[in-house]
Structure 1
Amino acid sequence: MKKIIIFILILCCTPLSMLVGASTELDNPAQPELNPIPIILVSEQEGPLTAGTTELPHPELKYRGTLLLNSPYPAFGGFSDLLLSKDRKTFLAISDMGFWLKGSLSYTKSGFLKDVERKAELGQLLNTEGKTFAIKYYADSEALCRAPNQSPDDTINPGYLVAFERVHRIYHYNSGEPLYLSGKATALPLPKQLTDLPENGGIEAMLRLHDNSIFVLSEGDSSAGPFSKGALLKNGKWINFKYERNSAYRPTSAGKLANGKILILERKYQGPRTLGTRFCTIDRDKITEGATLSPELFCEINLPIPRDNYEGMDIISDDDGNQWIYIISDDNFSPVQHTLLSLFELKKQPAN
């Protein structure tokens, strides 16, 4: 019932001032008095609940559970990317309605996702004037990553980059607090290749790499043929490249692996019963001006792991060299989709 109510509210363009004081339909929206606001966040476990019950095609990749996330606030949903804290207890997610969510996670003794803390925060992203976005067209945030020169534990220079599509741009937020997106944004200059993207085929994946460069990849569409445009910001200079798409899959997020490769989250949808999710890899060293990158299949994610429209990903490495891969789904504010947070463990990999 809650999903149906949300769907109707979005279709009717209900002013979001009812929620946090700002509207997504007015030319001069009232600004929220409190941003972020406290919200109630709940979860329930989905899919297999114990280790050893789910085999994945990659021998070192293990499934570690799924949480179905929910909140009574109509603005909750539409999450397109996320980041995790170094200790994996806190997460930050952005939505395609210009909101951000900060919450806390808990785990079972065996390492499975267990629950979320009920107390969470929901905020609205601000523009370069320090105001909320007047309409959704400008608020469609799709990719999130840490800014250059930030420490891995978010304690030093805790800045973040957020990429928007439709009006393609990247904003830098630095509130001074870890995993927070409050405050006025500053715009990052983009190459023409990233500003001329299709309206609904903009930047979907963004990642700070080990060498402090920023990897950016668009979703693309059929007008660009079998390629998605990408760019790498290194030492103040953009390096343009192309990413070769295979079949109907589109890139939606990226994470860095300990062996130096980039893990790409891809999804496909061509109608009922065609939803697919998989991981691919590309080689960072092959990113040069004008290069075409051909991804290698890493692993497909199939049932009984819960299916949905997975769009966001982050990877955290622990002190033992294992990596924890989190993916989050965009429910599109639809009554037939859900906000799922799934976790995978990748055992320590030898360096190339």
Structure 2
Amino acid sequence: MRKFRLTLALLIAAGLSPGILWRSEPQPLDRQAPVDIVRLDIPHAKIGPFRLNAAWQLSSDSPMFGGYSALALRPGRTLVAASDGGRLLFLRREGGALADAYLDRFKRVRDADKSNFDIEAMTLDDVSGRMWMAYEGSNTIERFAPDFEAEARARPPAMRNWSGNTGPEAMVRLSDGRFIVLSEGTGGLFRSAYRGLLFAGDPTDRATPAPVRFGLEGTDGYAPVDMAALPDGRVLILLRKLRWPFPPRFGSAIAIADPARIAAGKPWQARVIARLDAPVPSDNYEGIAVEIGRQGERFVWLISDDNDMQHFQRTLLLRLRWAD
């Protein structure tokens, strides 16, 4: 992901006038700036088995805002998004509307160690409220208490040879306590498949045995960027590809796969069930979460990563309803 962002930044810089860059006056940082929430007027289009239910654009002048690459639904129906630098965005909901949003940061993050918080994946235990974060640059997984105090940290040997640019990009905790971790890089057992690991338990627990290695296939040219578990045991996989470098244009899709079909040294076959084409707002969607409504309705939430370049990309939040 770092290489991906650097490439975008270089392409954008090359297209800008040097005079514009040099004349720009630095703006004062406002860490207490509010998060603005604007509901977008979009058609409720059918997308595969989903219907686009609602969309919002989020923005803020705070330097703590933006760059969200992971999304989860906490107990109490609060959405939390995480980004590099240990930044957190909390979205509180009332009914079908977003009531408010606020920004925070992990308790032990200091300005000097932001590079250790390049969060690309996040998952949680609905019962205990514990959360796990995966860091791309260091190929590390860390467990946090519900109040975001760090509890345990590990660098699994099976991930140590993953490139810093193709580290853990997607992670999900299954209802039986197993974990799936996907890299955004191909290679290893299968040249064209995305590297994957299935842990029998908590990856930060030294007692957890070595994971099963497999390769993810069936993504139709998209790369995995996040995952979310479904009540029936299957998982949704959010996918992305860069369609045009400048200005950045992305293609996104959602695939479904069954963890029961994961086997050591074998391909894990996914199936694309929805492509997020027009009229879905186009952007760099990197976070996905699943919500079960009070009447049993199934909703899928997506958040986009503006790569900290708000002039060229947006932070969008989508809600899809599973119509089938």
What letter matches 1:242 in structure 2?
A: G
1:47: Cα distance to partner?
4.4
Q: Deviations over 1:245-265 (max 9, x none)?
A: 645310001111233211100
**C-alpha spacing 1:173/1:19, structure 2 compared with 1 (3 Å):** farther
For 2:51, the equivalent position in structure 1 comes to 62
Query: Larger strand proportion, structure 1 or 2?
Result: 2
Mapped partners of 2:306, 2:74: distance in 1 = 23
CA contact (8 A) 1:227 1:243 kept: yes
Distance 2:41 2:251 in 1: 16
| Structure 2 Cα separation of the partners of residues 247 and 288 of structure 1 | 21
Query: Aligned pair in 2 of structure 1 residues 71, 293: CA closer, same or farther (>3 Å)?
Result: same
Find the counterpart in structure 1 of residue 205 from structure 2: none
Partner of 2:223: 250
Matches of 2:112 and 2:287, distance apart in 1 = 25
Q: 2:82 aligns with which of 94, 99, 104?
A: 94
Residue 137 (1) aligns with residue 115 (2): yes
Is this contact kept in 2: 1:41–1:116, CA < 8 A? no
Gaps of 5+ in 2: 1-12, 14-20, 23-28, 202-207
Rounded to whole Å, the distance in 1 between the matches of 2:139 and 2:75 is 30
What's the TM-score once normalised by structure 2's chain length? 0.80
Which residue, out of 125, 134, 140, partners 1:163?
134
Q: What's the counterpart of residue 239 of structure 1?
A: 212
Distance verdict in 2 for CA 1:295–1:47, change over 3 Å: farther
Match of 1:31 in 2: none
Equivalent residue in structure 2 for 1:297, among 266, 272, 289: 272
Once the two structures are superposed, residues 251-289 of structure 1 have per-residue CA deviations (whole angstroms, 9 ceiling, x without a partner) of: 001111233211100011042575211111111111122
Paired residues of 1:226 and 1:246 also in contact (CA < 8 A): no
Give the structure 2 partner of residue 46 of structure 1.
40
Aligned partner of 2:152 among 181, 186, 191: 186
CA–CA separation in structure 1 for the residues paired with 2:46 and 2:224: 24
**Cα distance in 1 between the residues matched to 2:71 and 2:307:** 16
Q: CA deviation at 1:19?
A: 6.5
Shift of residue 133 of structure 1?
Answer: 6.0
1:269 pairs with 2:223: no
Q: Secondary structure at the match of 1:321?
A: coil
* Distance in 2 of aligned mates of 1:277 and 1:163: 21
Shift in Å, 1:331: 0.1
Which residue pairs with 1:311 in the alignment? 286
Percent of paired sites with the same residue? 26
Q: Compute the TM-score of the two structures, normalised by the length of structure 1.
A: 0.74
Distance in 1 (CA, whole Å) between partners of 2:275 and 2:243 is 17
Distance in 1, matches of 2:250 and 2:89, equals 26
Q: Rate the CA distance shift 1:76–1:222 in 2: closer, same or farther, 3 A.
A: farther
- Classify 1:321/1:102 alpha carbon distance in 2 versus 1 (closer, same or farther; 3 Å): same
Compute the RMSD of aligned alpha carbons.
2.9
Structure 1: tracts of 5 or more residues without a match: 1-6, 13-17, 21-37, 152-156
CA contact (8 A) 1:327 1:343 kept: yes
